[in-house]
């Protein structure tokens, strides 16, 4: 019998937002202790458990898994609580043969810059240096040298929009089985380049630079040139040391070829860096263009307020522009504004309300907007995700109201939620097909969701902690020089770490 411990803390942090992540945020979304992890048949937990279940001699030892919607840094107390419980449970589990950690890669706490690296370090102290530790990550992970040197193999999601958390969990579990059966001896090398861009031009499903890089890496993997390949676009809204994007290859005891492949992908990443910077619109210009020049439906994405990237969801720049330009255009808009939601719910469906909307939680990005409208619908804000990392899990907006102002229907939630498709709108009885302008707050999933029903797409440049270009933010910890702050950097920009030394 081989015993495999499984644990994880999965979230993505944003150093430019004000709302810190606490234990309550994890409890609200997903907190599974011990055998409760067996309840998850999908997602990354389901993938690892399903793969291990194929091998009778492998026994999963579930410790603790928790995930939540991105936000600011974890409070140090929150991080310590989950870190300590995982490590205590690992010690209590007794002797194990392997450890699977299901992490994000871009989680930080207020004073710990590399939660994943530190958790690996603590796990290593318990199990020693010989036991394999495999780690699954988002492809928006912030890969530090500590993570590469302390783990046996790191696995990034392969798709963006993220559709493969289950299979990534299965890939990691499969390599764990093969490693412990002594079929392979994994070694890994990461190659990183100083590129910091938003994720807008980084789909793996539509043509573009990231699509090409991922395709090349996966081609080599499918040809058997490596055990695993990952391409990482670092989550650009943490501000910590060792930022950068690039590629990581795991080979069967062949560090030189891992380094060669990782370097080639990272070099191409650097060479194509300009292609990652998006074309953007000011909100007013986009709304005018959509109303006057276009036919059919238009999608405006207020990227700078992406809850899935750690924003509080309470920026209202596009709402302000909509109200100013043409209040009668049929439009739909999402915002997090707990006080406004509470007032609307108290007033009740059919009531007229005067509300201050937005800028309640994170006040750095502009003032709230004053609205006068009618309460159209209220709910407890529960919905079920129809795909993505939380496929099948419930989403919780908390107390939520729809308020109509002219032609604009505003969904006012209490808590931020990740936008996979249009689950939030549908759960409030609103069908996006009924609107001329559909406003969303994400850098990627909007296209997958709305391309069947909309003709025009506008990436909006507005204030917020998840902007379309990183040039809008002031970083303190980032190294210099760095693209796009510095567009030309002389010399070799590729940095290698892991099983080989530089060059």
| Residues 203, 151: Cα–Cα separation, whole Å | 27
Tokens of 348: 């009740």
Instruction: State the residue number with the nearest CB to Zn ion.
Output: 140
268 C-beta neighbours (distance < 10 Å), count: 16
CA-to-CA dists, residue 241 to 24, 79, 206, 320, angstroms: 28, 19, 31, 36
Report the nearest approach of Zn ion to the CB of residue 49 (Å). Answer: 22
Which of 269, 281 has the CB closer to Zn ion? 269
Binding residues for Zn ion, rule: CB under 5 A, are: 138, 140
8 Å CB contact between 10 and 98: no
475 C-beta neighbours (distance < 10 Å), count: 19
Report the nearest approach of Zn ion to the CB of residue 40 (Å). Answer: 19
CA-to-CA dists, residue 387 to 306, 393, 444, 460, 470, angstroms: 18, 9, 14, 25, 28
| Residues 200, 24: Cα–Cα separation, whole Å | 30
8 Å CB contact between 390 and 351: no
Which of 116, 138 has the CB closer to Zn ion? 138
| Residues 441, 245: Cα–Cα separation, whole Å | 23
Helix (H, G, I), strand (E, B) or coil at 483: strand
Report the nearest approach of Zn ion to the CB of residue 198 (Å). Answer: 12
8 Å CB contact between 239 and 477: yes
The structure tokens 């108290």 sit at: 346
Report the nearest approach of Zn ion to the CB of residue 364 (Å). Answer: 23
The structure tokens 């596009």 sit at: 318
Report the nearest approach of Zn ion to the CB of residue 199 (Å). Answer: 7
Report the nearest approach of Zn ion to the CB of residue 139 (Å). Answer: 6
| Residues 408, 321: Cα–Cα separation, whole Å | 12
Which of 140, 441 has the CB closer to Zn ion? 140
Which of 333, 420 has the CB closer to Zn ion? 420
| Residues 398, 396: Cα–Cα separation, whole Å | 5
Report the nearest approach of Zn ion to the CB of residue 152 (Å). Answer: 23
8 Å CB contact between 253 and 500: no
Report the nearest approach of Zn ion to the CB of residue 496 (Å). Answer: 24
Tokens of 97: 């043969």
Helix (H, G, I), strand (E, B) or coil at 137: strand
Strands 382-384 and 394-396: antiparallel
Which of 188, 198 has the CB closer to Zn ion? 198
Nearest 5°: CA angle at 236, between 234 and 238? 100
Report the nearest approach of Zn ion to the CB of residue 293 (Å). Answer: 33
Which of 140, 171 has the CB closer to Zn ion? 140
Report the nearest approach of Zn ion to the CB of residue 238 (Å). Answer: 12
Tokens of 298: 């238009």
- Return phi, psi of residue 78, to 5°: -60, -50
DSSP 334-357: EEE-HHHHHHHHHH-TT-EEEEEE
Report the nearest approach of Zn ion to the CB of residue 368 (Å). Answer: 29
Which of 234, 266 has the CB closer to Zn ion? 234
Which of 157, 435 has the CB closer to Zn ion? 157
8 Å CB contact between 191 and 261: no
| Residues 1, 97: Cα–Cα separation, whole Å | 9
Report the nearest approach of Zn ion to the CB of residue 247 (Å). Answer: 16
Which of 140, 273 has the CB closer to Zn ion? 140
Which of 40, 140 has the CB closer to Zn ion? 140
Which of 58, 232 has the CB closer to Zn ion? 232
Which of 420, 475 has the CB closer to Zn ion? 420
């Amino acid at each position: 019998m081989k015993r495999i411990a499984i644990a994880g803390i999965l979230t993505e942090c944003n150093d430019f937002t004000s709302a810190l992540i606490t234990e309550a945020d994890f409890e609200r979304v997903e907190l599974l202790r011990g055998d409760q992890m067996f309840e998850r048949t999908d997602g990354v937990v389901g993938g690892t458990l399903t793969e291990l279940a194929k091998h009778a001699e492998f026994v999963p030892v579930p410790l603790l898994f928790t995930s939540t919607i991105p936000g600011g840094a974890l409070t140090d107390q929150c991080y310590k609580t989950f870190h300590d419980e995982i490590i205590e449970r690992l010690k209590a589990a007794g002797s194990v043969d392997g450890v699977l950690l299901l992490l994000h890669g871009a989680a930080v706490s207020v004073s710990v810059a590399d939660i994943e690296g530190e958790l690996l370090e603590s796990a290593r102290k318990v199990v020693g240096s010989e036991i394999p530790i495999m780690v699954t990550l988002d492809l928006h992970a912030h890969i530090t040298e500590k993570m590469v040197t302390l783990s046996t193999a790191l696995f990034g999601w392969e798709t963006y929009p993220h559709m493969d958390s289950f299979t990534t969990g299965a890939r990691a579990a499969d390599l764990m089985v093969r490693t412990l059966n002594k079929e392979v001896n994994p070694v890994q090398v990461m190659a990183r380049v100083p590129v910091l861009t938003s994720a807008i031009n980084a789909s793996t499903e539509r043509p573009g630079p990231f699509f090409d890089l991922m395709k090349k890496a996966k081609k080599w993997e499918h040809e058997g040139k490596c055990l695993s390949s990952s391409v990482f676009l670092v989550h650009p809204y943490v501000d910590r040391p060792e930022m950068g994007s690039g590629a990581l290859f795991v080979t069967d005891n062949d560090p030189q070829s891992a380094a060669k492949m990782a370097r080639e992908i990272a070099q191409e990443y650097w060479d194509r860096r300009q292609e990652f910077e998006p074309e953007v619109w000011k909100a007013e210009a986009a709304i005018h263009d959509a109303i006057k020049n276009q036919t059919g439906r238009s999608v405006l994405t207020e990227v700078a307020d992406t809850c899935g990237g750690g924003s509080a969801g309470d920026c209202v720049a596009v709402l302000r522009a909509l109200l100013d330009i043409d209040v009668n255009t049929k439009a739909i808009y999402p915002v997090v504004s707990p006080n406004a939601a509470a007032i609307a719910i108290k007033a009740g469906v059919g009531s007229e309300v005067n509300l201050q909307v937005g800028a309640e939680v994170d006040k750095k990005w502009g003032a709230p907007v004053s609205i006068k409208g009618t309460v159209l619908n209220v709910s407890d804000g529960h919905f079920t995700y129809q795909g993505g990392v939380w496929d099948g899990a419930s989403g919780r907006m908390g107390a939520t109201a729809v308020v109509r102002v002219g032609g604009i229907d505003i969904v006012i939630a209490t808590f931020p939620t990740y936008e996979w498709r249009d689950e939030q709108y549908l759960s409030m009885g609103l069908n996006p097909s009924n609107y001329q302008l559909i406003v969303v707050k994400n850098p990627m999933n909007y296209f997958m969701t709305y391309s069947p029903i909309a003709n025009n797409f506008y990436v909006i440049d507005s204030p917020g902690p998840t902007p379309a270009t990183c040039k809008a933010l002031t970083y303190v910890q980032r190294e210099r020089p760095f693209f796009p702050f510095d567009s030309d950097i002389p010399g070799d920009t590729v940095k290698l770490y892991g099983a080989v030394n530089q060059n």
